[in-house]
Structures are given as structure tokens and as C-alpha cells.
Amino acid sequence: MPANVEIKASVRDVMQLKLRAEELSGSEGTVVRQRDTFFGVQKGRLKVRDFMDGSGQLIFYERPDFDGPKLSNYSISPTNDPEGLTKVLSDALGLVGQVKKERRLYMVGQTRVHVDTVEGLGDFMELEVVMKENQSTEEGVAIAHKLMQDLGVNDGDLIEGAYMDLLLIKRKCHNGHI
């Protein structure tokens, strides 16, 4: 199963982060609009990523929920019918929720740097160090920490969990359950 080391952080100054990411990647990045629909599963997370252009991906992943660098194992299968697949999986497994975001993707070495604007949450940065065969988790963590420093991201900005988790917590708070 492919793996990557991930870091997710909230962003205080999105323009400054984009400038640093542009400098490090040597590009203006690529804008990607996504709607991720999550389904009820016994372990890990299962989602359909709809690129809203008729293409998408079915993604299963497992990773621990703590802030800082973490190893994520994943499987991806492309689909030409993300809406149909979403309907079938919703009927079969139950819908957990949706995350809508605009993502700017920069490549820095073996790392995908995402600057995300998430509907209902705000601005975030996500690093995905794509692990090479026989590369240790410790090497991936070191790459992530160095890039965090280069991008000006502080340990205090790190968040745990997925955007879906943050949206569910926000919904509970808004409904007065917490």
C-alpha cells in the first residue's frame, strides 16, 4: 500500500504561505477544486473525491489522529462517475459528510504542498511527503519538519484529524452539543 507522511496546519497568512510555496516549488501551483464525500466504515476512512469535471477517485486511507507528522497508508482508484459512485456508497454505507475545498498544489521535491481553502473552516496547509520505496518514516518526518520551517509553519499551528472531523466538531458546537 502506498504511504506518505502528512502534516496539517491552520494558516494565519495565506498570501505569505503561497509566496513561500511558490519560491520553494518554482511554480505558481495548480488550482484544484474538490468535493470529498465520506462514508461510514469500520476502520480507516473511505471517500469519493469529485474533481467536479466528471472525474474523481475512490480513496481509502488509514492514519493516526494526532498533530504533527504521521504516516498515512492509502489506496486510490480512479472513477469517471464520482456522482454515481457517491450515490451507491451513500446507500450502502451511510454518508458521514462532505468537505468542499479549493486547493492550490505545489510540488517541492517529493512533497505535495497543499494550500487549502475549506468551505466552512478557512485556510489550511497540508504537506504530503510521498514516501519512496525503502525510505524510512523518520526520513519522511525529517523532510516534513524541514519544509514546515521553510514555509514558516509553527508547531502551534498543527492540527490533528481530517477536515471532515473539524467540520463535524464545528457542527456539534453550533448545535449546542458541546
Domain ranges of the chain: 3-174
The answer for residues whose C-beta is within 8 angstroms of residue 88's C-beta and 6 or more apart is none
Residue 161 confidence (pLDDT): 85
Residue 10 confidence (pLDDT): 95
Q: Find out whether 48 and 127 touch, Cβ atoms under 8 Å.
A: no
Residue 62 confidence (pLDDT): 92
Give the closest residue to 117 by CA, choosing from 132, 97, 103, 134.
103
Place of cell 454518508: 95
Q: Please, what is the end-to-end C-alpha distance for the chain in angstroms?
A: 37
Q: Find out whether 121 and 166 touch, Cβ atoms under 8 Å.
A: yes
Residue 171 confidence (pLDDT): 86
CATH architecture observed for domain 3-174: Beta Barrel (2.40)
Residue 178 confidence (pLDDT): 52
Q: How large is the angle between the packed helices 137-151 and 14-25, nearest 10 degrees?
A: 120
Q: 136: exposed, middle or buried (C-beta count within 10 Å: 0-12, 13-18, 19+)?
A: exposed
Residue 70 confidence (pLDDT): 86
The answer for residues whose C-beta is within 8 angstroms of residue 104's C-beta and 6 or more apart is 18, 21, 29, 30, 31, 32, 114, 115, 116
What is the rounded CA–CA span in Å between residue 127 and residue 137? 14
What is the rounded CA–CA span in Å between residue 121 and residue 89? 25
Using CA atoms of 116, 119, 121, 127 in order, give the dihedral in degrees to the nearest 10.
-20
Q: Give the predicted TM-score (pTM) of the model.
A: 0.89
E-assigned strand segments in the chain: 3-10, 30-39, 45-50, 56-62, 70-79, 95-108, 111-118, 122-130
Instruction: Give the chain's residues under pLDDT 50.
Output: none
DSSP reduced 3-state for 67? coil
